[in-house]
Amino acid sequence: MVRTSVARAFALGLMGLVISAACALAQEDFPFEHELLLDAHPMKGSKRIPNLSVEPDGTATIDLWCNSMQAQINVNGEAISISAGEKSNQSCAPERQQADDDLAAALVAVTSWRWDGESLLLIGPKTLRFRQQTN
Using pLDDT thresholds of 50, 70 and 90, give the confidence band for residue 16. very low
- Is-contact 133 37, C-beta < 8 A? yes
CA distances for 69 relative to 27, 53, 92, angstroms: 23, 11, 15
> What φ, ψ does residue 32 adopt, rounded to 5°?
-65, 150
> Residue 23's pLDDT is what?
40
> Quick check: 98 pLDDT over 50?
yes
Share of the chain above pLDDT 90, in %: 76
> Quick check: 14 pLDDT over 70?
no
> Quick check: 68 pLDDT over 60?
yes
Alpha-carbon distance 124 to 111, whole Å?
5
- The single-letter code of the amino acid at 32 is F
Give, for 60, the enclosing helix (H) or strand (E).
strand 59-63
Alpha-carbon distance 80 to 74, whole Å?
6
> Residue 5's pLDDT is what?
58
Alpha-carbon distance 18 to 36, whole Å?
30
> Quick check: 43 pLDDT over 60?
yes
Indicate the pTM of the whole model: 0.77
Pairing status of strand 68-76 against strand 35-38 = unpaired
Taken in order of first residue, the domains within the chain and their CATH numbers are 31-132 (2.40.128.270)
- The single-letter code of the amino acid at 44 is K
Using pLDDT thresholds of 50, 70 and 90, give the confidence band for residue 105. very high
> Residue 132's pLDDT is what?
92
